[in-house]
Copies of this chain bind each other. A is one copy, B any other.
């Protein structure tokens, strides 16, 4: 989803020779692109595929691919194969080009690299102690990104994205899906299930803010990063209760009434291990900017996804 929105934005902005899209399912070319677009479908974890992609020596690589948290937890081998082996193969393919090739690599990590117990707000020196296989795979990707960058094989930057909210489209298998569902579904007039108590606090960014992070990372002077190439992105810390009150302000009681509480112990156990709040000082100093409130996050969803229908 972030990939699709990023591609739409890059295609619209132009300013590049070619946009090479890659996914394990056929990537959708953006409508009205102002640049040449080429789409490749393959499994990055298959030997040789990463080399083919890197053959064209792109100057800028966004590596967003991932099996989501719920699926990586349900299928141990698949999670490691796609999230870890796939990333390693891409990094190795870039390294092996040699000849001074040193692209900018923007890697999307996740706040799932952190695990409870947490301080009040997670700062830039807090340890990565993930409590999911997904978080482990992302944390390893971060370490590889830093080492490959330090050795000069590429110029990497890793972004720990907050949970993206409101995620458009259909629910995916991410355990975090309900954080978007309880906003998106009621706004569309559908019922949404809430599997956790309203006291659960979490860390959010809109898709629009996330695209902003990625574009900023692509342009940033990485000399300012030093050896620590991975950054926790700014976001909005809100409880589920605060999410719901924001929904009420934007869309009224009839929307809120569509949220049905249906506790799910498995999701609760996963979510309990997730971060609630951050003090992302480095990212703010480097110019990354978050949404201003959870209400704004909802309004962005309405503008960007529901705009025409509600106009």
Contact = CB atoms under 8 A, between A and B. Distances in A.
Interface string A117-152: 001000011111111010010011001101100110
Contact of A146 (B119, B129, B273): B129
Given A139-B143, A143-B139, A143-B140, A129 B228 contact: yes
A128 B119 CA distance: 17
Given A126-B125, A127-B125, A127-B126, A133 B147 contact: yes
Given A76-B151, A115-B227, A227-B115, A143 B130 contact: yes
Given A130-B143, A150-B131, A227-B131, A125 B119 contact: yes
A151 B130 CA distance: 12
A122 to B, nearest CB: 10
Which 6 A/B pairs are nearest by Cβ-Cβ distance? A136-B147, A140-B140, A136-B143, A127-B127, A129-B228, A139-B143
Interface of A: 76, 115, 119, 124-131, 133, 136, 139-140, 143-144, 146-147, 150-151, 227-228, 273
